[in-house]
Amino acid sequence: MFPRRLLPILVACSTLVTILVYAAIRNGSWAHLPEAVGLGEKYGSTEEQYYAEGGVSPHLRPAEGNGGKSGFKEPKVESISPYPEGKLKPPGSKYTKCLVVPKLLSEYTGWIEDKLGDMLKDKSLTTAVYTVDDKKATLRPPKNKGHEVMVYLSYIIDFYDDLADVNIFIHSHQKAWHNNELLGLDSAEAVRHLKPERVLRDGYMNLRCHWDPGCPAWLHPGVTEQSYEKPEEVLLGQSWAELFPGEPIPTVLSQPCCAQFAVSKDRILALPKARYIHMRDWLLRTDLTDYLSGRVFEYVWQFIFTAAPIHCPSMSACYCDGYGICFGGPKAFDHWFEMRYERKELMEELRVWQEKARRIEDERKQSDDGKMPEEARLDIPELGMDKELQSKISALTKEMERTRNEAIERGKDPKQRELERTGKAMG
């Protein structure tokens, strides 16, 4: 029987717990009470929290630019890694870099020699090109599966004891929509401009600075319904325990797309070689298709190399500290993309004007007397508007090129890169 003398103590304890819980809920601090939660809750906001706090959607400034001029803002999302900052070499020191590239026999990678030949010649850059469908190739993975994932993991396993200071993992094509616009969507330019100091300091750098697609909250591994746009979302939740035994499933996984990144030697070595072998073995064994098994990893690399599920760094700082393209701060960076958006709108207006003019000309050519038939109801473009639009487009193009060149020159100054990296630049 429960001792009566303990009843007052039990009542007092129950009352105290009730008061604490009520206070936590009232103050909005319930989420901060210690509990076993997914890493997405430990590190950064969920998608719902982000927008509830007034966050600006990164879709306002994507690579293809579908937002209005008023929406160009530098969004903020917490990205926390438990790893300390990596150690840099003394100023002026050289860093070794290795370019890791998966390819098919049919794919052309001669652009590496054509565009980066000087770096290859002075040994500042080496390559590890894996041909996935050539059994005679010197470098080849054990199986052509998982898209780039099999090659990336195979390189780490093969060269674990002989890694470069900076290891750059990219696709075989030189130009792609998901490359950085300020670098001409060009992989060769990204490799050439890449600042090894950022990679060593952070340990991991997604080569794409633009958030869309991928940030601020892309995959939710805990969902149970499959998404047409993100079929890997449900599969990742099912595969998580196999890939990361003992790790709680994050509520959110996000980083800029599309599986191109750079990792420092020290950060790769922070995990034992057996972990990479384990992940590659999973890839070899899984019943998932080549496509889906590759998609599973696209938004997991940041977790592997930063131990954080969210990796959405400042876009302007990524360009400045990562590639030496420094506009002076987020506002000036945003202004460049405002000009870009305005130019795109003007180009669309010009296209519509030219289409109207073409239809009128076609009608005239089809008539017997070279005149438009009275019954032809065509929208007549404003006379001279094409010249005005072309003039505005030309002026914007020149201004964009001027400010970009100034940004590249400004980015040569390590002090400026440090200011923008730390968010102290006011421009």
Q: What is the pLDDT of residues 216-257, one digit of tens each?
A: 888 888 777 777 778 788 888 889 999 999 999 999 999 999
Mean pLDDT of the region 22-41: 32
Does residue 57 have a pLDDT over 50? no
Position 373 confidence tier, pLDDT thresholds 50, 70, 90:
low
Q: What is the dihedral of CA 243, 290, 312, 181, to 10 degrees?
A: 160
The residue type found at 360 is: I
For position 74, what pLDDT does the model report? 53
For position 25, what pLDDT does the model report? 34
Does residue 66 have a pLDDT over 60? no
Does residue 80 have a pLDDT over 90? no
Does residue 357 have a pLDDT over 60? yes
E strand segments, 137-283: 166-169, 204-206, 261-264
Does residue 378 have a pLDDT over 80? no
**b/e 251-267 (16+ beta carbons within 10 angstroms → b):** bbbbbbbbbbbbbbbeb
- Length, in residues, of the chain: 427
Q: In the numeric block, which tokens belong to residue 206?
A: 């997604």
Does residue 34 have a pLDDT over 90? no
For position 423, what pLDDT does the model report? 84
For position 268, what pLDDT does the model report? 99
Q: Per mean pLDDT, which range of 37-46, 158-167, 188-197, 356-365 is the poorest?
A: 37-46
Q: Global pTM?
A: 0.79
Give the residue from 412, 406, 401 showing the smallest Cα distance to 427.
Answer: 406
For position 401, what pLDDT does the model report? 97
H/E/C letters for each residue in 5-53?
A: HHHHHHHHHHHHHHHHHHHHHHCCCHHHCCCCCCHHHHCCCCHHHHHHC
Q: Highest-confidence range of 31-40, 168-177, 416-425, by mean pLDDT?
A: 168-177
For position 21, what pLDDT does the model report? 37
| Strand 125-131 versus strand 166-169 pairing type | unpaired
Mean pLDDT of the region 50-69: 35
The tally of CA atoms less than 13 A away on the side-chain side of residue 420 is: 32
Does residue 61 have a pLDDT over 60? no
For position 365, what pLDDT does the model report? 78
Tell which wins on pLDDT, 227 or 331: 331
Does residue 124 have a pLDDT over 50? yes
Mean pLDDT of the region 272-286: 98
Does residue 29 have a pLDDT over 50? no
For position 36, what pLDDT does the model report? 27
Mean pLDDT of the region 112-122: 98
Mean pLDDT of the region 314-324: 96
Does residue 374 have a pLDDT over 80? no
Neighbouring CB atoms inside 10 A of 360's CB total 15
What percentage of the chain has pLDDT greater than the value 90? Answer: 66
Angle at 55 between CA 50 and CA 58, to 5 degrees: 105
Residues 6+ apart with CB under 8 A from 98: 125, 126, 127, 128, 159, 163, 164, 166, 167, 168
Query: What is the spatial distance between Cα 102 and Cα 168, in angstroms, rounded to a whole number?
Result: 12
Helices (H), 194-231: 196-202
Q: Per mean pLDDT, which range of 191-200, 275-284, 416-425 is the poorest?
A: 416-425
Query: What is the spatial distance between Cα 4 and Cα 149, in angstroms, rounded to a whole number?
Result: 65
Report residue 102: phi and psi, to 5°: -90, 140
Mean pLDDT of the region 256-278: 98
Does residue 284 have a pLDDT over 90? yes
Query: What is the spatial distance between Cα 131 and Cα 233, in angstroms, rounded to a whole number?
Result: 29
Q: What is the dihedral of CA 156, 161, 164, 170, to 10 degrees?
A: -10
For position 9, what pLDDT does the model report? 54
* Adjacency order of strands within the sheet including 204-206: 125-131, 97-103, 166-169, 261-264, 204-206
The tally of CA atoms less than 13 A away on the side-chain side of residue 272 is: 3
For position 59, what pLDDT does the model report? 32
For position 228, what pLDDT does the model report? 72
| Strand 125-131 versus strand 97-103 pairing type | parallel
User: How much is the mean pLDDT over the chain?
Assistant: 83
Position 14 confidence tier, pLDDT thresholds 50, 70, 90:
low
